[in-house]
Amino acid sequence: MIKPYGSEKLNPLYVQDAGKRAALAKEAESLPSLVVSSAAAANAVMLGAGYFNPLTGYMNKADALKVATEMKTTAGLFWPVPIVNVVQDASAIRGKKQIALRDPNVAGHPVLAVMEVKAIEELSADDLKLMTEKIFRTTDPKHPGVAAFNSAGNTLVSGPIQVLNFSYFEKDFPETYRTAYQLRDEMQKLGWNKVVAFQTRNPMHRAHEELCRMAYEQVHADGILIHMLLGKLKPGDIPADVRDACIRKMVELYFPKNTVLVSGYGFDMLYAGPREALLHAVFRQNTGCTHLIVGRDHAGVGSYYGPFDAQTIFDEVPKGALRIEIFKADNTAWSKKLGRVVMMRDAPDHKPEDFINLSGTKVREMLSKGMDLPPEFSRPEVAKILMGHYQSQAQ
């Protein structure tokens, strides 16, 4: 199986020994504490799960700026996005060496992690602007990632952490949420060595399904990991439970048994396009995947990124930094001429009207009205689940 990113073995920051975890949780109740942002909580969950291996905690100002501008830490480790804990007010923890980080997304704000405070530093307006421009390629406050990043505060609290739980993800998605080390174990038990990962924050239509199949066949993989984001999304995106039901139904009915793992990870969507695609590659390598499908406008939003920016950015990765390989995909759609799903680049003789390709707006409109989607666009069993969701929203 492929090695984790940046180390010989995976080093998740979750305290796995139950006795030590209970003792630390008890100690944490008496520590000075911070209720962190949702983004910082998601970072803690990803660090705990081993997805952000080999990081040991939140980055300081020097590392955060270096990663934003040059995609590497001050120690030279390639890393695409700053992993930070930015807060509005750190007055309650100034001068403290150890603090508790409290979960903003769970009632009562229970302790999520214990942190050793190495530094508390201020980010200037220029620092935030520079980081925003580099990470998101825009400073437009209408960009959902930019808005979230710039609303968290300007005080950076850095240092190593020990993670006590995985926030709401285990409870809300018991069948789906898995850590990186759990996925590595599952793949090992299945005897998978070559694994293709598919990233999604949406339900999967016929084109997505076929894209997974194409990649699986072309790289001669042993299995496919359909890996969905379970954290915070922008308004209007499909909730994770609906998406999960759609994907599971599709896999159950249309893929051979034991060829697909359906799983999810606890992170808030950045909508950072190219930079987020790189992060997706890093943490899929940590799960044991050998290939990641990167499609058109991967992890994008609106028209902030070019259609293939998330593919070309991999040319900037230092040679040998990543072991995972990228399966570069074009838009896929049903060809009326050929009677099957194809990548558009493989059908140069086609005109737009030769494809069945519905916009998200059109799909939502049809489902809200109880209209069936074309079977060439969506599996009927998946469309039925989506229709139930949209009609419940319309009531």
Q: Of 203, 258, 176, 123, nearest to 387 (Cα)?
A: 203
The backbone torsions φ and ψ at residue 294, rounded to the nearest 5 degrees and listed phi first, read -120, 110
**Burial grade of 141 (CB within 10 A; 0-12, 13-18, 19 or more):** exposed
Separation between Cα atoms, residue 235 and residue 222, nearest integer Å: 36
Residues annotated as part of the active site? 201-202
Which of 26, 43, 141, 133 has the alpha carbon at shortest distance from 85? 43
- Residues 6 or more apart whose CB falls under 8 angstroms from that of 278 comprise 71, 80, 81, 313, 314, 317
CA angle 54, 97, 10 (to 5 degrees): 15
* Side chain identity, residue 231: G
d(C-alpha 138, C-alpha 136), whole Å: 5
Strand segments, DSSP code E, in the chain are: 33-35, 57-58, 86-87, 98-102, 111-116, 119-122, 155-163, 195-200, 223-229, 260-265, 291-294, 325-328, 332-335, 340-343, 355-356
Residues near 79 by beta carbon (within 8 Å), at least 6 away in sequence: 55, 67, 71, 72, 73, 282
